[in-house]
């Protein structure tokens, strides 16, 4: 069975927790786009916290993890992430982490250019846009190429740096040197604890074999629909296809998904700049931010908060065609007198809030009537059933609904 988890808003919907729940029923967990701009926080029932950026979170459960060709990778950052996870006792070996030889490398000049240029969009400064720019311009370096002959790499970087340094100087930055870049790369490649070279493989083939063996595969989206390069709030978007199509281009697997779970936070947040029609730039927004812990997992930036926007979610439903929805952070809305929802026609609906703490509830029937009404309204408007409702950070703080059964085949 092939399952996908996709963010339906501007990212940070709480995909990490849902992926963590679904990983139990899957053999492989796959990233297909984005890079270390993403940040997934996983909290175990014992309260142990892990923050993952590029490595799929299934690694915590000893699952086989794949980083597909559509991902951009900063090899130095990846080493740090792997080392940190290993220090927390997580086993990461070439037997459970597979990196596509065709994934694009985030080079040091991409980081410099992003920092000098990404302010308008409010990027994460991780070199994502510049790395994808080079991929599309056919001037990128792929992971497999890092292990080509040193001479080839030196010539390629030398040629590329002439252009990059011009751009960096024009933007007021310090030019880089090929010798330093090569030295750092060599050090990474030769780090025997890191084993970068051993992780790199033909991931399309790895996944194809797994499909032939009827293994269960979970495709884990990063960011969300409204940050999609084609369908999001351009130019205030990320540089990859965060919606369903990205799964196929980002892995080389054409087979259809058996189940897509769309992740919808019970309210809306966005980090970085750009339009946000339901933004609450007031005390209420501030209280949602505090209660929901709405600070970026990657950059620590405060997230902008606002009401649910069904008009935009309708678009996400069209693009992602979810079979079910996971509604996250419903508990953050506890205690509100009323909840506003931007409806598909563009007007506002006001729904009554609930005064009960729902974080300890595990059964749908125990939810306050107004919370049920809110969920029902959402599901009816979007015409998608709900499979899960998250009422707290921990994995056990989850309410499963009827359509969840379809995910456990
Ligand atoms: P970039 O992906 O670093 O180029 O940033 C482009 C836009 O996407 C900025 O507004 C970022 O804040 C936003 N963004 C990138 N990754 C994430 C994420 O994982 N969650 C939420 N927003 C993100």
Four-residue CA torsion sign, 268, 274, 276, 282: positive
Do 240 and 321 sit in the same domain of this protein?
no
One of 40, 53, 110, 231 is an active-site residue; which one? 40
For atom 21 of ligand 1, the residue with the nearest CA is: 11
Residues 2, 12: Cα–Cα separation, whole Å: 23
pLDDT higher than threshold 90 for residue 347: no
pLDDT at 7 (0 to 100): 98
Rounded to whole angstroms, the Cα distance separating 196 from 94 reads: 9
* End residue of a domain, out of 251, 275, 296: 251
pLDDT tens digits for 22-36?
999 999 999 999 999
Whether pLDDT at 288 is above 90 = yes
Q: Which of 5-14, 44-53, 112-121 has the highest mean pLDDT?
A: 5-14
Q: Is the pLDDT of residue 48 over 90?
A: no
What are the CA-CA distances from residue 201 to residues 16, 78, 80, 86, 221 (Å)? 25, 16, 21, 21, 21
- The Cα-based distances of 80 to 25, 74, 134, 188, 333 in angstroms read 29, 10, 24, 11, 36
pLDDT at 344: 75
* CATH number for the domain that contains residue 370: 3.90.170.10
pLDDT of residue 346: 74
Residue 197 scores a pLDDT above 90: yes
Q: Is 175 in the pocket of ligand 1 (CB under 6 A)?
A: no
Which CATH number covers residue 89?
3.40.440.10
Model pLDDT, residue 296: 84
Average pLDDT over residues 314-319: 98
Token pair 């990859």 is at which residue? 240
Atom of ligand 1 nearest to the CA of 12: 20
pLDDT band at 45 (very low <50, low <70, confident <90, very high): confident
Q: 218: closest CA among 202, 228, 227, 207?
A: 207
SS3 category, 343: coil
Does the annotation mark 12 as catalytic? yes
- The percentage of residues in the chain with a pLDDT greater than 70, rounded to a whole number, is 100
The answer to whether residue 266 is domain-embedded is no
Instruction: Check whether residue 329 and residue 244 sit in a common domain.
Output: no
Residues 186, 315 within the same domain:
no
- Please tell me the distance from the alpha carbon of residue 18 to that of residue 375, in angstroms, as a whole number: 18
Is the same domain home to 230 and 324?
Answer: no
Looking at the structure, tell me whether residues 112 and 45 fall in a common domain.
Answer: yes
Atom of ligand 1 nearest to the CA of 39: 19
Could you tell me the pTM of the whole model? 0.96
Assess if residue 291 is contained within a domain: no
Is the predicted pLDDT of residue 47 greater than 90, yes or no?
Answer: no
Q: Residue 148 sits in which domain range?
A: 2-251
Asked whether residue 180 is assigned to any structural domain, the reply reads yes
Whether residue 409 is predicted with pLDDT greater than 80 in this model: the reply is: no
Residue 40's pLDDT is: 83
pLDDT band at 330 (very low <50, low <70, confident <90, very high): very high
Is 80 exceeded by the pLDDT of residue 83? yes
- Is residue 302 lining ligand 1, measured as CB closer than 6 Å? no
Has 53 been annotated as catalytic? no
């Amino acid at each position: 069975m092939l399952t996908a988890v996709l963010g339906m808003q501007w990212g940070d919907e709480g995909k990490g927790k849902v992926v963590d729940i679904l990983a139990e029923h899957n053999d492989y967990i796959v990233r297909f786009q984005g890079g270390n701009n993403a940040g997934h926080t996983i909290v175990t029932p014992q309260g142990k916290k892990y923050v993952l950026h590029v490595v799929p979170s299934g690694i915590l459960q000893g699952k086989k993890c794949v980083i597909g060709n559509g991902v951009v990778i900063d090899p130095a950052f990846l080493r740090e992430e792997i080392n940190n996870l290993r220090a927390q006792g997580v086993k990461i070996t070439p037997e459970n982490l597979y990196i596509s030889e065709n994934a694009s490398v985030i080079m040091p000049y991409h980081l410099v250019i992003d920092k000098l240029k990404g302010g308008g969009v409010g990027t994460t400064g991780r070199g994502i846009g510049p790395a994808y720019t080079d991929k599309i311009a056919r001037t990128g370096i792929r992971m497999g190429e890092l292990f080509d002959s040193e001479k080839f790499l030196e010539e390629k970087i030398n040629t590329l740096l002439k252009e990059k340094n011009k751009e960096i100087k024009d933007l007021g930055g310090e030019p880089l040197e090929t010798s330093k870049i090569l030295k750092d790369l060599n050090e990474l490649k030769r780090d025997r604890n890191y084993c970068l070279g051993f992780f790199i493989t033909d991931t399309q083939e790895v996944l194809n074999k797994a499909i032939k063996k009827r293994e269960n595969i979970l495709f884990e989206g990063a960011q969300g629909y409204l940050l999609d390069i084609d369908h999001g709030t351009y130019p205030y978007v990320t540089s990859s296809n965060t919606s369903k199509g990205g799964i196929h281009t980002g892995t080389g697997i054409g087979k259809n998904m058996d189940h897509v779970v769309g992740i919808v936070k019970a309210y809306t947040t966005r980090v970085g700049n750009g339009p946000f029609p339901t933004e609450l730039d007031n005390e209420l927004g501030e209280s949602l931010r505090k209660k929901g812990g709405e600070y970026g997992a990657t950059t620590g930036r405060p997230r902008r908060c606002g009401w649910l926007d069904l008009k935009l979610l309708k678009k996400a439903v069209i693009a992602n065609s979810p079979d079910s929805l996971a509604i996250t952070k419903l508990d953050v809305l506890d205690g509100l007198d009323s909840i506003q929802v931007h409806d598909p026609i563009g007007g506002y609906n006001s729904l009554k809030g609930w005064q009960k703490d729902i974080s300890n509830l595990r059964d749908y029937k125990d939810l306050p009537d107004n919370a049920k009404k809110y969920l029902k309204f959402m599901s009816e408007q979007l015409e998608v059933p709900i499979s899960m409702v998250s009422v707290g950070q921990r994995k056990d703080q989850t309410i499963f609904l009827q359509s969840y059964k379809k995910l456990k085949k």
